[in-house]
Every structure is written in structure tokens, then in C-alpha cells.
Chain A
Amino acid sequence: AQSVTQPDIHITVSEGASLELRCNYSYGATPYLFWYVQSPGQGLQLLLKYFSGDTLVQGIKGFEAEFKRSQSSFNLRKPSVHWSDAAEYFCAVVGNAGKSTFGDGTTLTVKP
């Protein structure tokens, strides 16, 4: 069965600092991996996705993520966080029969 683990429930960073949100997945074959963001009062929006090829993928709002097969990870990064990045972030894997499985989410707080 496929699964996603986001080890960090809550992360706080200062504005301008770098960010890394962790995501570990479990899936028997090559996974399709996604990061979504949910800003306060907003719906979920896709940040980026990985299907194949280059293991470093670029997304919207300056985010990137790196797929590491050996570590079963797909961590999300941003070099310099902005106050507007405060939100909840969800990692997801699509595997069996096209079904999406989401992690429990990581809440990001940005300190001024």
C-alpha cells in the first residue's frame, strides 16, 4: 500500500531564511509525487510535481523539490521564505490505480 509521511507537524522559520519541508513516501514502483499548499482560508493549490527525469523539480512561488529514490524522499525547499508563504503544505503520492494519498501536512509559520 502506498503512504506518505510528513515528519514535521509544525515548522517556524524567520522571513528570509531558507526552508526545507520533509516528505517520505512508501510505494513499490516509481512514484508520482506532488506538493500542495493551502493558504489560510484558501483551497489546496498545486506547487509542483515529479513524474520522471530530472530529480530536481521547480514549482511556483520559488519552491523546488528533490526526489531521492534511495531515501524515498521528496523534500520541498525554498531559499528565502516570505511572510506570504505561511500556510499548510501537503505532500502526496499517486500510485495504485491513479489514487492520490496525502500526508498529514506541515504547518509553516513565518516570523517577521
Chain B
Amino acid sequence: GAGVSQSPSNKVTEKGKDVELRCDPISGHTALYWYRQSLGQGLEFLIYFQGNSAPDKSGLPSDRFSAERTGGSVSTLTIQRTQQEDSAVYLCASSFGWLTNTEAFFGQGTRLTVV
């Protein structure tokens, strides 16, 4: 597709369940980011993938959070044993990571609600 695609757009889950959020980056983009945005808050960095390099996981808030990127393209963010404080919009972005003079393109996000 032409842009970054995220699915689902909305997810309601019960506390304690696992969820998977999907991101399809723009074709050819080697860099992929996951951010979390809680209501009225800024962007909280979660994880960064760049090509075949080891991902930068420094932003993951706990070991319940993990992410994979298969084949250098699609990425899945998994949250295990969800808690109410996990409720937020999860944003994915991609860019031509080897070019620093290029911006990140964002998806519309997945709104996660843990009840």
C-alpha cells in the first residue's frame, strides 16, 4: 500500500489476555518504530528496527511487551497479560532508515482498551 497500515484499528480486550498488533510499513522502508501514546500524552518510544540490526528495545516498559519484524517488513507488537495501564494508542512508523534526511511516516494507530 501507499502508507503505513496498522491493524486492528481498535481492540478491546479483557485484562490478563494477550494481544497482537500488526504493522505493515511502506515498501522499501528499512526502519520501523513502535510508539505508544496515552490519552493526552506525547509519544512514548517502544522499539526500533533498522534493517538486519538488532532492534533497539530500550523503550519497552516491561517484559510483557515484545515485538518482531519478519522478513524486514511486517512487524507484530505483542502484549502479554494485558493490564489496564496498557490502554493507549499504539503507533507504528517507518522510514528509509539508512537516509537520515527522510521523515518517518506514521500509521493511523491501534487504539487498545483493556477492560
Specify which of B42, B100, B109 is in contact with A94 (CB 8 Å cutoff): B100
| CB–CB A34/B103 < 8 A | yes
Residue B87, interface by CB 8 Å:
no
| CB–CB B45/A101 < 8 A | yes
- Chain B residues with a Cβ closer than 8 Å to the other chain, count: 28
Q: How close is A107's CB to chain B, nearest CB, in angstroms? A: 8
- Chain A residues with a Cβ closer than 8 Å to the other chain, count: 23
**Closest B residue by C-beta to A44:** B106
Chain B residues close to A by CB (< 8 Å): 31, 33, 35, 40-43, 45, 48, 50, 53, 56, 91, 93, 95-104, 106-109
Chain A residues close to B by CB (< 8 Å): 32, 34, 36, 43-44, 46, 49, 51, 88, 90, 92, 94-95, 97-105, 107
Task: List 11 interface pairs A-B (beta carbons < 8 Å), by A numbering.
Answer: A43-B91, A92-B104, A97-B50, A97-B53, A98-B31, A98-B96, A99-B48, A99-B97, A100-B93, A101-B45, A107-B40
